[in-house]
């Protein structure tokens, strides 16, 4: 879940294109301009600031209040991990491998943070840290609102109010990266902008999709399948995107109860929706796991290129 900020930045540059309405094309091959228009139309309706759980952290702040908010977030995350652990093989392994998760709040740009604990157990080592980034520290150095910091062994996540049906997917996705690191798998970071990066990323994106589907009682994949039935066969998975309309993205928002999300969260959502549509098409049309894997990696890499080019 690395692309949202960049997407927002890149695609807002194209806002002048918005006078052309997003529409499904006849002829039905992928055209990157249409993806830009579609994404911009969606993001344009999502302007403004998302609601922050922690806006600022400074010595003059009421720290007890910040700690309470962080602990609420931790409780929400841990509840989701427990409720959704059996979703896939990977989700159960992920939950099983991290028993001592603690919550922290970043307090300065140089990486200082405080670990919050409701008991006198700060000395007990944690095996994973969930670190909230307050608004005043959430700058462009973070390529995404959620990421896994391999050096700090911490999930870094913007301290926002997330839709209840989205947050578990974010946590599982990043914990998946943490789990792979624990297994000794060495995956390149997003900065490498490589096909190799997409190998692990696709697994985590798929884990996130499965979690969203479970959280929405199956509505997420049900709607995607309906959409794909209307589309029919495409020459390439990416050509499916030529049939997607703004209304479809808004439907996804409804399913995730994310209609009120603003620019930051929506930048991530649009990537998730678009990836999900292509990935689901691949799952429905390719029987062999090996083919699915390589097609998805190709699709993920293609989307990265589409969303990253400036």
Chain contacts with Zn ion (rule: CB under 5 A):
201, 204
Q: Which residue sits closest to Zn ion, CB atoms considered?
A: 204
In the complex with Zn ion, the residue whose CB is nearer, 197 or 221, is: 197
Residue 123 CA from chain centroid, whole number? 32
CB of 143 to Zn ion, least distance (A): 10
**Closest to 208 (Cα-Cα) out of 256, 159, 160, 264:** 256
In the complex with Zn ion, the residue whose CB is nearer, 74 or 201, is: 201
CB of 176 to Zn ion, least distance (A): 8
In the complex with Zn ion, the residue whose CB is nearer, 248 or 306, is: 306
Q: Is 235 exposed, middle or buried (0-12, 13-18, 19+ CB in 10 A)?
A: exposed
In the complex with Zn ion, the residue whose CB is nearer, 201 or 206, is: 201
CB of 66 to Zn ion, least distance (A): 27
CB of 177 to Zn ion, least distance (A): 6
In the complex with Zn ion, the residue whose CB is nearer, 190 or 246, is: 190
CB of 14 to Zn ion, least distance (A): 25
In the complex with Zn ion, the residue whose CB is nearer, 201 or 213, is: 201
CB of 309 to Zn ion, least distance (A): 20
Those residues with Cβ within 8 angstroms of residue 3's Cβ, 6 or more apart along the chain or in another chain: 143, 144, 190, 267, 268, 271, 303, 304, 307, 308
In the complex with Zn ion, the residue whose CB is nearer, 246 or 270, is: 270
For residue 306, the number of C-alpha atoms closer than 13 Å in the C-beta half-sphere is 21
Contact 116, 159 (CB under 8 A): no
CB of 186 to Zn ion, least distance (A): 15
In the complex with Zn ion, the residue whose CB is nearer, 223 or 271, is: 271
CB of 172 to Zn ion, least distance (A): 11
């Amino acid at each position: 879940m690395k692309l949202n900020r960049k997407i927002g930045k890149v695609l807002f540059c194209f806002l002048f294109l918005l006078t052309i309405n997003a529409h499904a094309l006849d002829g039905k091959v992928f055209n990157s301009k249409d993806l830009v228009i579609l994404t911009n139309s969606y993001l344009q309706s999502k302007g403004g600031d998302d609601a922050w759980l922690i806006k600022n952290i400074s010595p003059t702040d009421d720290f007890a209040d910040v700690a309470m908010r962080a602990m609420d977030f931790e409780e929400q995350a841990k509840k989701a991990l427990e409720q959704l652990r059996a979703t896939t093989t990977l989700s159960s392994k992920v939950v099983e491998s991290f028993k001592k998760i603690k919550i922290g709040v970043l307090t300065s740009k140089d990486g200082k943070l405080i670990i919050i604990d409701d008991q006198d157990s700060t000395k007990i080592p944690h095996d994973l840290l969930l670190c909230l980034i307050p608004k005043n520290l959430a700058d462009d150095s973070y390529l995404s609102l959620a990421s896994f910091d391999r050096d700090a062994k911490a999930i870094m996540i913007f301290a926002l109010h997330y839709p209840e049906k989205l947050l578990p997917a974010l946590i599982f996705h990043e914990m998946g990266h943490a789990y792979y690191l624990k297994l000794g798998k060495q995956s390149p970071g997003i900065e490498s902008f490589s096909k190799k990066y997409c190998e692990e990323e696709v697994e985590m994106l798929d884990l996130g999709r499965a979690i969203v589907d479970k959280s929405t009682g199956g509505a997420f994949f049900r709607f995607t399948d309906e959409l794909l039935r209307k589309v029919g066969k495409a020459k390439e998975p990416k050509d499916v995107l030529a049939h997607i309309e703004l209304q479809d993205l808004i439907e996804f928002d409804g399913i995730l109860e994310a209609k009120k999300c603003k620019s930051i969260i929506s930048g991530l959502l649009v990537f998730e929706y678009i990836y999900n549509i292509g990935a689901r098409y691949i799952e429905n049309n390719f029987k062999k796991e090996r083919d699915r894997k390589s097609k998805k990696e190709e699709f993920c890499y293609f989307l990265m290129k589409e969303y990253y080019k400036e």
